[in-house]
Chain A
Amino acid sequence: GQQLNQSPQSMFIQEGEDVSMNCTSSSIFNTWLWYKQDPGEGPVLLIALYKAGELTSNGRLTAQFGITRKDSFLNISASIPSDVGIYFCAGQLNTNAGKSTFGDGTTLTVKP
C-alpha cells in the first residue's frame, strides 16, 4: 500500500520560532491534508490542498502541495505554546476520503 514518511518525528522549539515539517510519499496523491491532534482529543483538520504547487494559509500556518505531487510541507510561524501537539499529514489519491493514508505524525513541543 501507499506509505507516507513524515519528518521530523519530533521537534523541540522555543516560543516565537518558526517550524517546518514535511511529508513525502513514494506515490502520487491528488489531495494533501494536514491535521493537528491535541492530547486526549481527536484530530482537527487544519489545511486541505487540492492542486500541485498550491500554497494555502490558515492564520500562522502555511502548507504547500509539492509540484511532484509526492510531498507536502507545513510551516508554522512565530510558534506559541498552544501549537503543542501532534501534526499529521494525509494523502488521498482518489476523490474518496475513505482512501486517505496518514503519516505517523510530527510531535511538536514549544518551550515558553
Chain B
Amino acid sequence: NAGVTQTPKFQVLKTGQSMTLQCAQDMNHNSMYWYRQDPGMGLRLIYYSASEGTTDKGEVPNGYNVSRLNKREFSLRLESAAPSQTSVYFCASSETPESQPQHFGDGTRLSIL
C-alpha cells in the first residue's frame, strides 16, 4: 500500500554537485509529475510524463532533467545544483494524463549550499 515513494527524504548538496531524486509508484498509473514547492508558495510543475516513454517540460524546467525509466519510475536529475534549487520536491502520479495528480509522495527536502 505504498502509493508514491520518493527517495531520499532529505539531502544537502554543495553548489555544482549533481544528484538524482528517485520516484516510484505502485498503482500502475500512466502519468507522473515532478513539482517543486518553495516556502509560502504552491506547487510549480518542473516536468511531467504523460505516459511511459514521453516527457514534457512544465513551468520551471531549467536546470533539471528527467527520465521515465519504466512505467513505475520517474527520476529528476540536477546536473549542477544551484542555491536557487533549494526547495521541497514532490513527485505525483495520475491514472491518465487527463486525470488530476491524486497521489503525491511525501517530498524530498533539498538544500544547496
Contacts and interface: CB of A to CB of B under 8 A. Distances in A.
B94 to A, nearest CB: 6
Contacts of A105: 40-42
B90 A42 contact: yes
B92 interface: yes
Contacts of B41: 104-105
A98 B106 contact: no
Categorize the interface residue count of chain B: 20 to 34
Contacts of A33: 100
A85 interface: no
Contacts of A44: 104
Nearest to A2: B59
Interface in A62-112: 88, 90, 92, 95-98, 100-105
B48 interface: yes
A45 interface: yes
Interface string B66-81: 0000000000000000
Nearest to A44: B104
Contacts of B44: 102
B104 A42 contact: yes
Contacts of A24: none
A100 B45 contact: yes
Interface in B85-110: 90, 92, 94, 97-102, 104-107
Interface of B: 4, 31, 33, 40-45, 48, 50, 56, 58-59, 90, 92, 94, 97-102, 104-107
